[in-house]
Amino acid sequence: MERILDVKNLEIDFKTYAGTVHAIRNVDFHLNKGETLAIVGESGSGKSVTVRTLMGLLASNAKVVGGTVDFEGKDIVKMSEKELTNLRGNDIAMIFQDPMTSLDPTMTIGKQVAEPLRLHTKISEKAALAEAVRVLELVGITNAKARLKDYPHQFSGGQRQRIVIAIAIINNPKILIADEPTTALDVTIQAQILELLKEVQEKIDTSIIFITHDLGVVAGIADRVAVMYAGKIIEYGQVDEIFYNAQHPYTWGLLEAMPTLETKSDRLYAIPGTPPNLIDPPVGDAFAARNEFALAIDLQQEPPFFQVSPTHAAATWLLDPQAPKVTLPPEIQRRHQVWEEKFANKGVNA
């Protein structure tokens, strides 16, 4: 698989009154051409900060203190503002969470959709608007030509998110970053938008990074998954590996906290406690305080990545040969069983 983006050893600090927040603490991941990578994590895990770095959109009090972001042979971290401007909306585009605030309420949608095109190519307004119509129809806005002169408030939430997607894809970006694009939408609209993203990916042949905290959504659209906690990636792998053969207790916790149609228990599992403060990150494994499977070494040393398969690795001491065998929670046992039956020894379905 060809790699289109390579993030290595990324470290980002934020200066605040209370001290320096080590928001991203050594993050490594890559994006393959044509795939959808889902980055999963709770609020505060660092997933939004990570993707904003990919477009140079960090807040003014943030500083990249280490690492590289390799895109087409250049390091995005070191790019000048001019190079970043060429990149944004052109090679890499972003869809934000709240469709109510990501559109300019005082601009017609025709102008907004055509804007990225006019910024990056020499094209007349008429031709740009024609392109805008094409793209709006692609994302499912009926009667697009007549609606070019309408304003965002004349559309529903789901339609606005479609317009946001249209703006993002009009320049056929190589990478599309979707930062929780369906979190603010009704569940029926969410289903439609996810369906749309899959279609769009095929039609314009783009690679998607999808950020969410909802594992149900991940199961539907991701090829590969990276799980983040407290500024680090703690497990990554192909989607089936993560859902049916998860190895990190945090991933287990996330899976258990989400009810499925199969689970029969009367009580929801919840990961106790809250994520740690990153001004003073705990020594050792940041998840130890909430981890019912914690080992003594978790309180002293951070676990390295242990490779589970060529595509799957988890940073947990439980995978160390010296670690004791633990009884998996029932939901995880059920999933591992599915893994044994369907996927083990057969190669992984992408």
Partner 1 sequence: MSEPEVLLSIRNLVQTFNPGKRNEVKAIQDISFDIYKGETLGLVGESGSGKTTTGRSLIRLYQPTSGEIMYAGNDIAKLKHGSKAMLDFRRKVQMIFQDPYASLDPRMKVQDIIAEGIDVHHLAKDDQDRERQVQALLEEVGLNASHATRYPHEFSGGQRQRIGIARALAVQPEFIIADEPISALDVSIQAQVVNLLKDIQDRQGLTYLFIAHDLSMVKYISDRIAVMHYGRLVELASADEVYNHPLHPYTQSLLSAIPVPDPSLERHRKPIAYSAAEVEDDGKQRDLVEVYPGHFVFASEDEVAGYQNAAKASHAQGGAPATAPVE
Partner 2 sequence: MADAKLSPDLFKRVTVDSTEKEKITTPALTFTQDAMRRLRQNKVAVVSLWIIIIIAIISIVTIFITPADPNKGNLAYTNLPPKIANWNIPGFNGYQDGINKYAGLGKNVWFLLGTDYLGRDLLSRIFVGTRVSLIIALVATLFDLTIGVSYGIISGWIGGRVDTVMQRIIEIVSSVPNLVVAILMLLVFKPGMTSIILAIGLTGWITMARLIRAQTLQLRDQEFILAAKTVGETGPKIAWRHLVPNLSSIIIIQTMFTIPTAIFFEAFLSYIGIGLPAPTASLGTLLSDGQKALQTQPYQLIYPAIVIVVLMLAFNLLADGLRDAFDPKSQR
Residue number, 73 or 321, with CB nearest to partner 2: 321
Q: Does 58 bind partner 2 (CB under 8 A)?
A: no
As to burial, measured by CB atoms within 10 angstroms (0-12 exposed, 13-18 middle, 19+ buried), residue 79 is: middle
Residue 46, CB-side half-sphere exposure with 13 Å CA sphere = 29
Q: How near is the Cβ of 41 to partner 1 at its closest, in Å?
A: 9
Tokens of 316: 């947990």
| Binding characters for partner 1, 255-274, by CB under 8 A (x = yes) | x-xxxxxx---xxxxxxx-x
Q: What is the dihedral of CA 133, 34, 208, 94, to 10 degrees?
A: -50
Q: How near is the Cβ of 328 to partner 2 at its closest, in Å?
A: 14
Give the interface segment with partner 2, choosing from 149-157, 238-246, 250-258, 273-281 (CB under 8 A): 273-281
Q: Looking up tokens 């408030």, which residue turns up?
A: 153
Residue number, 134 or 198, with CB nearest to partner 1: 198
259 binds, among partner 1, partner 2, none (CB under 5 to 8 A by kind): partner 1
306 binds, among partner 1, partner 2, none (CB under 5 to 8 A by kind): partner 2
Which are the contacts of 94, defined by CB distance < 8 A and separation ≥ 6?
A: 51, 55, 57, 88, 168, 176, 177, 178, 179
254 binds, among partner 2, partner 1, none (CB under 5 to 8 A by kind): partner 1
| Binding characters for partner 2, 226-265, by CB under 8 A (x = yes) | ----------------------------------------
Q: Does 137 bind partner 1 (CB under 8 A)?
A: no
Which are the contacts of 303, defined by CB distance < 8 A and separation ≥ 6?
A: 285, 297, 315, 316, 317, 319, 320
Q: Does 155 bind partner 1 (CB under 8 A)?
A: no
By the 8 A CB rule, do 223 and 211 touch? no
Q: Which of 58, 91, 130, 157 binds partner 1 (CB under 8 A)?
A: 157
Give the interface segment with partner 2, choosing from 93-101, 106-114, 224-232, 297-305 (CB under 8 A): 297-305
Residue number, 120 or 290, with CB nearest to partner 1: 290
- Angle made by CA atoms 226, 224, 93, in degrees to the nearest 5: 85
Subset of residues 272 to 301 that bind partner 1, contact rule: CB under 8 A? 272, 274-275
337 binds, among partner 2, partner 1, none (CB under 5 to 8 A by kind): none
SS3 224: strand
SS3 109: helix
Q: Which of 2, 60, 73, 187 binds partner 1 (CB under 8 A)?
A: 187
Q: Does 220 bind partner 1 (CB under 8 A)?
A: yes
Q: Does 105 bind partner 2 (CB under 8 A)?
A: no
End-to-end alpha-carbon separation of the chain, Å? Answer: 12
Distance CA(102)–CA(97), nearest Å, equals: 8
By the 8 A CB rule, do 174 and 199 touch? no
SS3 262: coil
Q: Which residues of 34-61 are buried (b: 16+ CB within 10 A; e: fewer)?
A: ebbbbbbbbebbbbbbbbbbbbbebeee
Subset of residues 301 to 330 that bind partner 2, contact rule: CB under 8 A? 304, 306, 317, 320-324, 326
Q: Does 181 bind partner 1 (CB under 8 A)?
A: no
Distance CA(276)–CA(286), nearest Å, equals: 7
Subset of residues 21 to 80 that bind partner 1, contact rule: CB under 8 A? 42-44
**Site residues, partner 2 (CB under 8 A):** 16-19, 59-61, 272-274, 277, 279-280, 288-300, 304, 306, 317, 320-324, 326
**Site residues, partner 1 (CB under 8 A):** 42-44, 157, 186-188, 190-192, 194-195, 213-220, 239-240, 243-244, 253-255, 257-262, 266-272, 274-275, 338, 342
